[in-house]
Structure 1
């Protein structure tokens, strides 16, 4: 913090901005920074914008580099802090550091207990300065399911899932340009999954290096293996030094003559670091003579048995010896707590062990004293954890005695209790969930394969699905819902879980999955005898195919969707909910209202509206807000098809009012999906009718929605458009940083729906005279792909606004030469009012003989739109040279929240008003006063 204080003093940066800058240097997203500093995402965006100005750097990447330069060298790395000192291994550290400097992937291989993890952590700390983006530690011990490898890495990096991408793809995107060292610890139980992932990682991320520990080689062609040897035994050996240091740490000193006896013990223990530490821990009670006798026990060198026996042979000898020295009650406790895969509390241990809490707490303390359990303190209490080799040893002991299934069953019941409690927990539940999540996953993995545990496995899968959805782990949530559907003991429950999975897939913008899951739900519902439920699912699947067609990798054939509607109609006859769902599907599939701009030639507007209105009427009879919301969306699309901009906005507003109710169904995955879609539609339709405050309100709700915290490009896209049209440049700069950061972390996806946002921001930077930023955003826009809407819709609008700002009215008129009726499919939706108003203004400023005709047409179309109407009124005033009427439009723009057009009006008025307008424009377009300066606005000369 002292460095931050100096920075704040020298650069005019506040302490809070310094904290934000430090986290930027560690490559945290705005959402992650907000969570760490207890701020809103918008406040973080404002700080980032301020830092860009104060440090005079061009973008977020430069900020991160500046933070690294200014970072205090003593800043701790995100590596586990060892509880004890690291002893010796100077030669091994040097060799391993040299290897990782030359090779991109090095595996430190050796038997359990040899000291691989401690050695790798020491090397990682020593070489950390070589990696501008840091050293990151990924503990794979809790990963019981190879499919969750990416989840573990994402958790270590603080990443969330991106729409349209699984966590693995999100991780690769986030690391694509980073210079970082990843430490993968304990790969042996997921070695195949690690090998496959590393091939993808190193190919996609050329500046990333990986240092792994494993008991077996990863067997990949690019792997460089370093065999970690036991601690040296010759001379003043590392083994003796470790034993002596640990004994002294416990308060006992050893004389030099005793070192020979210690060396003999270490030799008996094969120089295994874990074994030596366990032996040293017994020094206080056994002395050197007792330890010497103990390591001579016949069990020390067990041979044969399972593959695990071979891998852990030396450690097993020490564990057998250490285990034999425990009291029977402590042996039993060690066995039973070995089912935990993550740190656990004393109360949790008591519940799983089925013993008195006080006795268990005492027993855990004794086990910790013998170094058989690690202890850590946290704000939530003391937690214990067994090393993996000790945990495996304990479960094997339980298995040998035929008690493992009972212990896992108790652990399963404990996990169920935790999951149920978390579902109703208040603030702080996320930290509690994170603390037990690995145990929930491990228990579920075991229970899912045990026929007698099937019912509890289903319950746990369902709870984990709900919790991970609320925790915004959407990929896992969908997986768990699908798992629950397989474990359910009746088809009705299967159908219910598949519907929830479909809702999560919708939130993830995975149209193919959503479609597949609704069809599977329909099949399960039919097996249960629920014909009406099957009808709803089939109709919903057909609706999804059109309503969310842009989220599909491959849209289902039209005839397939039509067949689903027909089957649903037959199954659902006479059921209110089914008939409403079928009507909605007909409004989309048969009228193609959802894909209106690509609708069939014979799709008459009255028929489209009639079907949509019928869907709304039938949905209203069900009392289901989600069904009503979907039907209102169909009606919104039908009004767009009809070219009725005001009806679009009114219907979208009805939908938001409905979704603002407190109905519990709105908290489900399907409800969240509807709300996010509804807010996006409300923002768009508000823009269409010139309701800038409404568009900004809906845009901010989207930007701040927790379900979109990790997908800032999707969350902020409509807010950026609204801010650009309103002239809220300072707000736009902050949100634009969030957009770019999230978009690039997602792998720069080519999503056409993001085009208006990129175009709007590029336009603002052009108005500001910041050509570097304009080119950057233009490149983003180009990456999003070409479309007719870009040519004739929003693209034409934003291009013309640029041209008019710079006094190039003739060019603007040419850019908007197509008649609205010729390109109505592309301008009717949001942009019609803006298009005809700006088009008329271009004609006036260009002195075109078509000006009066275009003004008359625009006045009729935009009546009731405060912003577009004021644009037309201003153009008419210019044409009529009515100065007083012209100035009056500035007040109209201000009242409508359109500050840019209000200032531009003054410039257009000329004379004494022009200077005031130019100053207002400068204040809007260059809010940070960076000194870049704005070119003088030439619009006055064009009048």
Structure 2
């Protein structure tokens, strides 16, 4: 009846109270106005509603809906106006709004500070037009009682209702909302669950058009409740996240907007805060005083850093205050459980918590469930079962409470024992255990950090450090593995120090860190001497010297002349007749002889080579006799090097294959992995040197896939790039070169001759494709990898000659390969000799040079037994003799050897058929021959 009548808000209130049969005096007292004013309003209502008396006026009031919430008669108090802009949460807003449209009672659930209230306010404002009778916000924080009465009082106050004689406020609220289409927002319900739950249940039952949106740290557990978990702010890794946007917005309010170039670093910082909105806002408020570096340093003590800020709600003045609020709502047992599980760095199971907390599994399960219901733990469903995790701020808060309770050492000791047991279990598990390791890795690290600072726990800390070193190596976290082995050495008893340092040295070798490897071998020698193990010290010293020769390309620092020899001399004094030291010294002697002869002369003398071969063969024999396959592998490597300088590439290839086959049966470990990685690279190069492209590609494929080289992808893929470039596997080169370049740039663009052939091969392939821009880019990369003097002959001459001949520039190719192999032995010996002499012969034939016959004959002798280089020479001979019918047989030989480019080139010579080159996506070949 009143909907079409223009009555004021005050008149509507008076009308409602007349309907309750209150006297004018009672109405005046209820509304805090004078009796005369009430009489005036009653007279006005009689006139406007055209009713004869007060009884009819009361009937009119009863027939109409309660006036205090009628939008036509009074403006809704609606929602508090936010003081700052709402940032992000597009998905969460849409989901919550849709739930409000579908469900009658929705609870936005999440931990304190996650942003529940702001989300609820934003969504309530968004859907307000869908609730014609109003959207009402009720903050339940001020309520101190936990029963229904105070909740109803707070809601009634928000709705503008007053107390009525003989009727409780809950009944007044129900009457007011009975047929209204209203959205009721009840904020901060967690501390009055016993009162708010029955109140909402009554409202839902008796007010069929009312929708309730609640915010709480725990579910309300009422019928028809639909929980909507409120997650932390999104944390996209590229800096484009809600968390970053919130930080940028709030930090800019301080007058010093963050540079957008810092977005990725800000994203990492926000990840450290778990994306908690309150924590981000408090941190952003300190941007102008601390800067990003100061804020990042404060992540380890978030509760101290995230304090301050003028807020009307005391709970949100700091993260600590918000957590104090949640903590106070817990019963004593749950408070104990929360602080004790804070020792877990990441997620944990019920079983793990029971072992560390020190109570029964059943009790712990119930307690974890309650803490999860209070949004103090996050529940994670995994294939292996349910896990729990505390957000970092909550974990730090629990750690403080643990210290305050005097339980820190006791619980951390239990956690350390649990970590040791987990490490032992993981070490005993075969097969796929990566997920299990990842789930506990952070706890192992945290327990080790705590134990390492306590001398009384030295033995346990050592054991955990050793286990963690082994596990991280198996998990292919080899940078951490080296660190953990070194940490274990620092924690070990004297007898265990040197073994840990030896393992660390081997891991450094896997990482291509020659300087670290050398340092750690030297430190192992010192530790062995301190423990009274003179033979072990001799072995370590000789190994340091041998490795400085074997792995010189892995070193940044060049050892001073004579340093390696000095180590060998000292090792000889300590060794006695120990077989291990004997093998290491023989290896070091072989490396010393070759290195000193190489540095002192323009060419190795036959005597020096023979001496080096003898030392290496003696080392092989000693290692085999001792049954030490790893020492034998090192000896075979040294023997391969000596044989290469002796000019016997087939013996080199055979020795490299023996070495790789030997290591295939050796148990996994740092030293074995280091040897295998080196052996695979050596076998690849040796195979290329004798024209075994398919075998070389197999070794290179294993190397590229070796998990230990994940940190150095450029080194892993380099040999495979060289192999594919020489074979003419164009698509593979183009695909893999991108990975090579990315990994090289991530590593800081290190120089090194070991990487030069890969870049030169890629440059050549782009040249064969006619892509001059890409070729120039890779030429620039090559220039940064290797100085021009190192590129003059060997690999660069070979790749340049192939490209120049493809383009018909025979004269430049002749100039490029003018030097006799003996004159450039440092560059062509080992891998490139056969390629160099074969291509020189072809250049001479295509150029019609007078020495063509001589070079072809010489090349036949040198490359005999090499299917690829031999085919190049036979192609040159066929062209020299003008016997094109022989070219098809040569092309077949290339195909059999897996050398696709040279096969296509040969067919083009045979009859002008360039289809093979086109199939490889290469530019047409230019054929220019001297008459």
Check whether TM > 0.5: yes
In structure 2, which of residues 267, 271, 274 is the aligned counterpart of residue 182 of structure 1?
267
Q: Does residue 318 of the first structure (1) align with residue 325 of the second (2)?
A: yes
Q: What corresponds to 1:52 in structure 2?
A: none
- For 1:161-200, what aligned pairs fall within 5 Å after superposition? 182-185=267-270
Tell me the CA shift for residue 569 of structure 1: 1.4
**Cα drift, residue 801 of structure 1:** 0.8
Deviation (angstroms), 1:270: 4.3
Question: Which is worse superposed, 359-368 or 375-384?
Answer: 375-384
- d(CA) in 2 for partners of 1:848 and 1:596? 36
Give 1:811's aligned residue. 812
Q: In the alignment, is the contact (CA less than 8 A) between 2:603 and 2:825 conserved in 1?
A: no
Residue 873 (structure 1) aligns with? 874
2: CA distance, partners of 1:273 / 1:135: 23
Q: 1:914 corresponds to which residue?
A: 912
- Matched-pair contact (CA < 8 Å) for 2:848–2:929: no
Query: Over residues 644-671 of structure 1, what are the superposed CA-to-partner deviations in whole Å (9 max), with x where a residue is unaligned?
Result: 211211111111111111x32xx11111
Tell me how far apart the structure 1 counterparts of residues 453 and 286 of structure 2 sit (CA, whole Å): 27
Q: Distance in 2 between matches of 1:433 and 1:406?
A: 25
The correspondence of residues 238-253 of structure 1 with structure 2, limited to 5 A, is none
CA contact 1:844–1:878 (8 Å) conserved in 2? yes
How far 1:74 moved relative to its partner?
Answer: 9.3
Matched, 1:923 2:919: yes
Is 1:937 the counterpart of 2:913 in the alignment? no
Equivalent positions of 1:452-463 (< 5 A) are 452-463=456-467
Q: CA deviation at 1:570?
A: 2.0
Determine whether 1:636 maps to 2:640.
yes
What corresponds to 2:482 in structure 1?
Answer: 478
Counterpart selection for 2:377 from 373, 379, 384: 373
Secondary structure of the corresponding residue to residue 821 of structure 1? helix
Give the match for residue 86 of structure 1.
115
- Specify the alignment match of 1:25 in structure 2: none
Could you say if the C-alpha distance between residues 728 and 396 of structure 1 is closer, same or farther in structure 2, counting changes exceeding 3 Å?
A: closer
- Equivalent residue in structure 2 for 1:581, among 568, 574, 584: 584
Deviation of the 1:738 alpha carbon:
1.8
**The one of 552, 556, 559 aligned to 1:553:** 556
User: What is the Cα-based RMSD across aligned positions, in Å?
Assistant: 3.5
For residue 384 of structure 1, give the secondary structure of its aligned residue in structure 2. strand
Q: CA 1:320 to 1:364, structure 2 compared with 1: closer, same or farther past 3 Å?
A: closer
Of residues 548-557 and 389-398 in structure 1, the stretch that sits farther from structure 2 once superposed is 389-398
TM-score normalised by length of structure 1: 0.68
Q: Cα deviations across residues 444-488 of structure 1 (Å, max 9, x unaligned)?
A: 111111222211111111111111112222121111111111111
Instruction: Quote the offset at 1:750 in angstroms.
Output: 2.1
Cα distance, 1:844–1:588 mapped onto 2, change above 3 Å: same
Matched, 1:506 2:494: no
Deviation at 1:595, TM superposition (A): 6.8
Query: Which whole-Å CA distance do the structure 2 matches of 1:520 and 1:507 have between them?
Result: 18
Gaps of 5+ in 2: 1-88, 93-107, 123-215, 217-229, 245-259, 275-279, 296-304
Count of residue pairs brought into register by the alignment: 690
Query: Which residue number in structure 2 is paired with residue 67 of structure 1?
Result: none
Unaligned runs of 5+ in 1: 1-72, 94-114, 139-174, 190-209, 234-266, 275-311, 927-933
Find out whether 1:749 has 2:750 as its counterpart.
yes
Corresponding residue of 1:356:
360
Q: Distance in 2 between matches of 1:134 and 1:415?
A: 37
Kept in 1, the 8 Å contact 2:234–2:243? The answer is: no
In structure 2, distance between residues paired with 1:888 and 1:212: 78
- Contact 2:348–2:387, Cα closer than 8 Å, also in 1: yes
Q: What is the CA deviation profile of residues 816-855 of structure 1, one whole-angstrom value per residue up to 9, with x for unaligned ones? A: 0011111111111211111011001100100000101111
Inter-CA distance 598–739: structure 2 relative to 1 (3 Å threshold): farther
Q: Which one of 495, 500, 510 corresponds to residue 497 of structure 1?
A: 500
Change (3 A) 1:721 1:862: same
SS in 1 for 2:787: coil
**Cα displacement (A) at 1:592:** 2.1
Residue in 2 that maps onto 1:141: none
Equivalent residue for 2:853? 852
In 2, the alpha carbon distance for the partners of 1:658 and 1:491 equals 33
Q: Aligned residue for 2:721?
A: 720
Q: Does structure 1 residue 331 correspond to structure 2 residue 335?
A: yes
Q: Distance in 2 between matches of 1:434 and 1:690?
A: 44
Aligned pairs for 1:821-832 (under 5 A) are 821-832=822-833
Q: Distance in 1 between matches of 2:500 and 2:635?
A: 23
| Residues 756-835 of structure 1: pairs in structure 2 closer than 5 A | 756-835=757-836
Mapped to 2, the partners of 1:594 and 1:366 lie a distance apart of 76
CA contact (8 A) 1:515 1:545 kept: yes
Q: Aligned partners of 1:730 and 1:750: how far apart in 2? A: 26
Indicate yes or no: 2:580 matched with 1:592: no
Q: Equivalent residues in 2 for 1:388-467 (5 A)?
A: 388-467=392-471
Q: Which has the higher contact order (CA 8 A, sep 6+)?
A: 1
For residues 333-358 of structure 1, the C-alpha deviation after alignment (integer angstroms, 9 at most, x for no partner) is: 22321211212111110111122211
Whole-Å Cα distance in 2 between the matches of residues 870 and 388 of structure 1? 66
* Distance in 2 between residues matched to 1:783 and 1:745, nearest whole Å: 15
CA contact (8 A) 1:755 1:784 kept: yes
CA contact (8 A) 2:307 2:317 kept: no
Q: Is 1:572 aligned to residue 575 of structure 2?
A: yes
DSSP 3-state at the match of 1:925:
coil
CA distance in 2, matches of 1:585, 1:136: 59
Inter-partner Cα distance in structure 1 for 2:641 and 2:600: 10
Secondary structure in 2 aligned to 1:592?
helix
Deviation at 1:549, TM superposition (A): 1.9
The verdict on how the C-alpha distance between 1:654 and 1:479 changes in structure 2, with shifts beyond 3 A counting, is same
The 1:74/1:546 distance shift into structure 2, 3 A limit, reads: farther
SS at the partner of 1:472? coil
Distance change (3 Å), C-alpha of 1:832 and 1:477: same
Give distance in 2, aligned partners of 1:386 and 1:358.
20
2:616 to 612, 618, 630: 612
Aligned 8 A contact 1:134 1:181 in 2? no
SS at match of 1:555: coil
Preserved CA contact (<8 Å) 1:728 1:899: yes
CA offsets per residue over residues 348-400 of structure 1, 9 Å max, x none?
10111122211210111122223333323233322222344443444344434
Q: TM-score, normalised by structure 2?
A: 0.69
DSSP 3-state at the match of 1:753: coil
When structure 1 is superposed on structure 2, of 494-503 and 466-475 the one drifting more is 466-475
- 2: CA distance, partners of 1:214 / 1:562: 60
> Take 1:886 and 1:388, find their aligned partners in 2: how far apart are those partners?
72
Q: Distance in 1 between matches of 2:792 and 2:261?
A: 32
Deviates more, 1:831-840 or 1:894-903: 894-903
Q: 1:553, CA displacement in angstroms?
A: 2.4
Contact 1:330 1:363 in 2 (8 A): yes
1:428, distance to aligned residue in structure 2 (A): 4.3
- Structure with larger Rg: 2
Name the residue aligned to 1:520: 523
Q: 1:352 to 1:342 in 2, by over 3 A?
A: same
Change (3 A) 1:875 1:223: closer
Structure-2 change in CA distance of 1:221 and 1:338 (3 Å): closer
Whether the 8 Å CA contact 2:875–2:890 is kept in 1: the answer is: yes
Shift of 1:180: 7.9
What secondary structure does 1:375 align onto? strand
Report how far residue 683 of structure 1 moved.
0.5
Provide the residue aligned with 1:534 in structure 2. Answer: 537
